[in-house]
Amino acid sequence: MRLCTLGDLLLDVIVRLESPLAPGDDATAATSLEPGGQAANVAAWAALLGAEARLVAVQADDDEGAFARRGLDARGIEVLGPTGARTGVVVSLVQPDGSRTMASDRGSAPDLAPNDLEPEWLACDALHLSGYSIMREPIAGAAARAAELARANGATVSVDLSSWTHIERFGDTMRATLNRIGPDLVFGNEREWKAFGDFEAPTVVVKRGERGVRVNGGDYEAHPADVVDTTGAGDALAAGFLVGGVEVGLAAAARCVAQVGAMP
């Protein structure tokens, strides 16, 4: 299977707190750096699960971008896309219970434009679009164009809603772009679906954390896991679902939450 993702290539700074933050004081933490971005995460998990994975994203020639590309290359992921000015950075604060809060700087990632795409980049069996790729222009136009090119090659198209806070800010653009794309499959957690409202697609996946997932109204239990860090669990789930179905997705999500960071 060849899976293509489109979205952001970023640098993830993961700060795992040993105790909750205390305003105005210090907290001990373990910090790590990894390549990141939702589309990059999905590609990494898909590659681990045996797919031929490709990421389409803006690439900057700064040190952060070089670090991120090396990380994806080491995982067997092909990275294609135009050159941008600056690699974005996401800081993920992971609480002792594994829950996380993110602060995102997307850098040049949203600058991906429709005319940046080469048709051969979208020669794939499945195209997965991050929700961040449909929130604003010009990348939303690039996402819609990518869907057209992928479908011309017989691919299915999936989208992840990604963030309820961004849905509240950019919901109109997201809905308009989704209507243009007409995805075959849409992922979202319960809060994202509540913020977004109803949307008709052949397959609708509701991510429910430790309670598993709901797929077109049917419930599937989460696989057991010792939760260390929930960052990227939804991306692992999406990758597994696309590669092998719901149980493969749930197994990948369980593996993800048992480690630090979003990538395998």
Distance between CA 245 and CA 182 in Å, rounded?
A: 21
Q: 214 - beta bridge partners?
A: 206, 219
Annotated active-site residue 160? The verdict is no
The residue among 145, 105, 118 whose CA lies nearest residue 8 is 105
- Return all residues near 63 (Cβ < 8 A) that are at least 6 apart: none
Residue among 8, 12, 160, 235 flagged as catalytic: 235
CB atoms within 10 A of CB 95: 16
Q: 156 - beta bridge partners?
A: 126
Distance between CA 74 and CA 242 in Å, rounded?
A: 22
User: Can you read off the two tokens belonging to residue 137?
Assistant: 């222009």
Give the number of residues written for the chain.
264
- In the chain, which residue ranges form alpha helices assigned H by DSSP? 38-48, 63-74, 139-152, 164-181, 190-196, 233-244, 246-257
- Return all residues near 23 (Cβ < 8 A) that are at least 6 apart: none
Distance between CA 27 and CA 33 in Å, rounded?
A: 19
Paired sense of beta strands 52-56 and 100-107, if any = unpaired
Q: What is the CA radius of gyration of the chain?
A: 17
Q: Which residues are catalytic?
A: 235
